[in-house]
Structure formats: C-alpha cells, structure tokens
Chains A and B, each alone.
Chain A
C-alpha cells in the first residue's frame, strides 16, 4: 500500500492535464486541431439515439461512431456548425439535440419549471397573507371586538364554576 501511494499521487497529478477523450477513437480524429475542436463541440450536443442518455462523443455504439465520422466529414466539406446540426436533425429530428430548441412545441418545456415556481410562490404569498390577518385579530395589536352578551354570560358561568370548592 505504501509503495502504491506515490504512483497514485502521480496519477492524480497527471489527471487534470489529460483531456477526457470520450469514445472518440484515434483514427477518427481530424489532423486540423481547430476542426477537431469544432467536431468535439458539435458531438457533445448530439444525443446517441441508441443509448439516449449519452452524447455521440461519449458513446461506443456503432451509430454514434458513424455520426461522429459524418460530423467530421461535413466539417471537412466546409459546412458551418449550424449546417452540420441541421444535417443531423433533418434525419433524426429535434430529439437528437441534447439542448432542445425554443419553438411553439417546446414552450412548456422551457418555461414549465418557471410557471410551477411562480404558482408555488403565489400560493405561499397568499397563505402567509391570510395567516397574518388571523394573527393580527388574535393578538392585542389588532382590533378587539367586545364580547357579546352571550359570551359574557358563558364567561361568568365558567368563572363561577371555578370558584366552587
């Protein structure tokens, strides 16, 4: 164990410097580092439809590999980032995008959480507003209503009861 420690420490020291390469195989990597960086960025925004919760950059699935190569081919052919994305969504739909686009069909997806938050906040505000009003009337600070005749009678009756031995 003690002998292993320096090795582990050395590995830890290297780790932050080593770039995580996902599932990209060396043969796929483009020689132009700028293009490769763009390819990586695009791949990280594309869902692997076979595994669904991984990006094509992370996935070992055959389709993910094919799409990684396709993305690089499009870039080499001179396509812009958006054109490459459009090429893939034309075939696989918006579901392939890990960041869904904002359009009429996705408004609820984008603003649903905010809507729920606002509804909850409104509910809370109403709840506490009501509570305060009740507190006020009960405490000395609020308006005090004089006891009705009925209440006075009951009170004297109760007090008398207490006096009995």
Chain B
C-alpha cells in the first residue's frame, strides 16, 4: 500500500475525530469563568414576609460560605427543572449532610414560600435575589445552577441544569469529599 492512498484516509480520520468531539460537546453547558476564583461578595435579604407573616429565615451572605464546603443552588418556583432537581437537593442535605445555600432568583415571596412548604426546604439559608443582580455576579445564565464552594469561599465547580440522581454520586459527592480539609 503506498502513501498516496493512505493520505486521504488519514485526513478523513482526523476530521471524523474532530467532528465526533465537537458534535458531542454540549454547547448549553458552559464552563464557569469563576472556577477557582473567590465567590462574589454579596449580602442578600431573606425571602420577604407574606401578608402578616415573618420573613423566611435571615438571608444569605458570602460570609456564610467561609469555613466549610458548601453548595450554592440558584432556584426559583417558576423554574420547571428546579422541580425535577428538588428531591436530589433534599437527599443531599438530609441523607448526605451537605450544607446547601439557596439563591432564590426573581421570585415572588409568596410563590417561593409556598414552594418550600410544599416540596421541603433543603437550604441552610436562602437569599432573595429579586433583581437577579447577584445571580449575574455568579455568572448564572439559566436556572437551576449549582456551585460547589470550598472552605476558603472559592468556587470550584459549577453544575448547569438540574442535578439528577446520578450527578450526586458521580460528581457532587466526590467533589465535596475531595475539598474537605
């Protein structure tokens, strides 16, 4: 077999490999620009009081993230995939003891509170990001998104879209275990 015959085969194989990689990359899942950078500084108020009730919890600020490995989950009651994700968050906090903080994005307080009452509250604390500005500081472009933050308050991983049961064992728990001091 001579080289002239092999050349097109090699070129074809190279293009095929390039396409195989390129076409299976999910362009909807972007890497975060904030990986290994400190989480943005913020101080979010709690979900506001509804009717004559109390505000929900006491809010969530970047200071809460220091000293432990945490998950920060951006969610909203208007977000369909969040409903799919919710049982996994409940399991992470209840069965695995992972501290989860919530950023409630552009939600109505009454809707957010009804959501937490109906489906359960996996969060240590929740901040209400009514304008979505803090979400932008986190580089959030869709809800839900979940960040793994290390003990120094640095963002180490971002999960775009709902966390599914297999993501817990495949990525989230190993990541959390690895970052534990």
Chain A residues in the interface with B (C-beta under 8 A): 49-50, 52, 62-63, 66-67, 70, 89-95
Contact = CB atoms under 8 A, between A and B. Distances in A.
Nearest to B142: A50
B39 to A, nearest CB: 12
Contacts of B138: 91
Contact of B141 (A89, A90, A92): A92
B84 interface: no
A128 B141 CA distance: 53
A122 to B, nearest CB: 13
B137 interface: yes
A67 B139 CA distance: 11
Interface string B27-68: 110111110000000000000000000000000000000000
B165 interface: no
Given A50-B142, A66-B132, A91 B34 contact: yes
Contacts of A93: 30-33, 139
B25 interface: no
Interface of B: 27-28, 30-34, 106, 131-133, 136-139, 141-142
Which are the 6 A-B pairs with shortest beta-carbon distances? A93-B33, A49-B141, A91-B139, A92-B139, A66-B132, A95-B30
Max chain B Cβ within 10 angstroms of own Cβ: one of A70, A89, A91: A91
A90 B33 contact: yes
Contacts of B106: 62
Task: Classify the secondary structure of B's interface with A.
Answer: loop
Given A92-B33, A93-B32, A62 B141 contact: no
A91 B33 contact: yes
A85 to B, nearest CB: 13
Contacts of B31: 93
A89 B137 CA distance: 11
Contacts of B30: 49, 93, 95
Contacts of B133: 66, 70
A43 to B, nearest CB: 15
A73 B141 CA distance: 19
Contacts of B28: 52
Contacts of B141: 49-50, 63, 92
17 contacts: A49-B30, A49-B141, A50-B141, A52-B27, A63-B132, A63-B136, A66-B131, A66-B133, A66-B136, A70-B133, A70-B136, A89-B33, A92-B33, A92-B141, A93-B30, A93-B139, A95-B30
